[in-house]
Amino acid sequence: MEAYHSSSAIRPTEEQISGPFYPVQKPRDQGTDLTVVHGKKEKAKGQIVYITGRVLDLKGEPIADTQVEIWQANSFGRYTHPSDTNPAPLDPNFEGYSIQKTDKDGRYKFKTIKPGSYPVPGGRVRPPHIHFSITSTTNRLITQLYFDGDPLNDKDIFFGNAENKESLLVKLMPPTKDIEPDAMIGEWNIVLRQ
């Protein structure tokens, strides 16, 4: 397999806080399709997004068998967490958590919904984002994925304080022919310090 190459030097993905809403109790259904909950007929509300990419080292080489864990708010901006006091509704068809291992080429893929923004103390509003925890045999990175072009990004304290903002952004693109016509796709490579 060829290494991932970039025209500029490869920089590690920036660390971010894990936030207060890491799941207290992880759902039994931890499949990579967060738009469905096992045993329920309805699908999660919101814009379907596929987030896919590779976990790489600083040389651009893929890191296989790396744990990639995500958690996020639903499309209304509410977490399935007992401490989330946001008055936005819960989505009974969305649990907001998944975990998987990268394949031999360092690839991962999640099907989820684009999370909503939500208010935080001090009158601020967090932009849509997905929390990631990436654990390899030698390293762990906790970060957040933000959506390119969202107007709330530049007002966010965590994104605003990032030195390598580009490493935290994913650009959503139109779907390919093999997925739902109303879905969006974002490719986001994660670079670990090894």
Active site residue 126: yes
Q: Are strands 67-72 and 97-101 parallel, antiparallel or unpaired?
A: antiparallel
Active site residue 107: no
Active site residue 79: yes
Expressed in percent and rounded to 5, the helix, strand and coil fractions of the chain are 5, 30, 65
Active-site residue identified among 54, 78, 81, 126: 126
Active-site residue identified among 97, 108, 118, 146: 118
Active-site residue identified among 81, 108, 129, 146: 129
* Residue pair 44/36 in contact by the 8 Å Cβ criterion: yes
Active-site residue identified among 79, 97, 108, 146: 79
Active site residue 81: no
Active site residue 5: no
Find all residues with CB under 8 Å of 69, minimum gap 6, and list them.
97, 98, 99, 132, 133, 134, 135
Active-site residue identified among 50, 78, 131, 146: 131
- Report, as residue numbers or ranges, the catalytic residues: 79, 118, 126, 129, 131
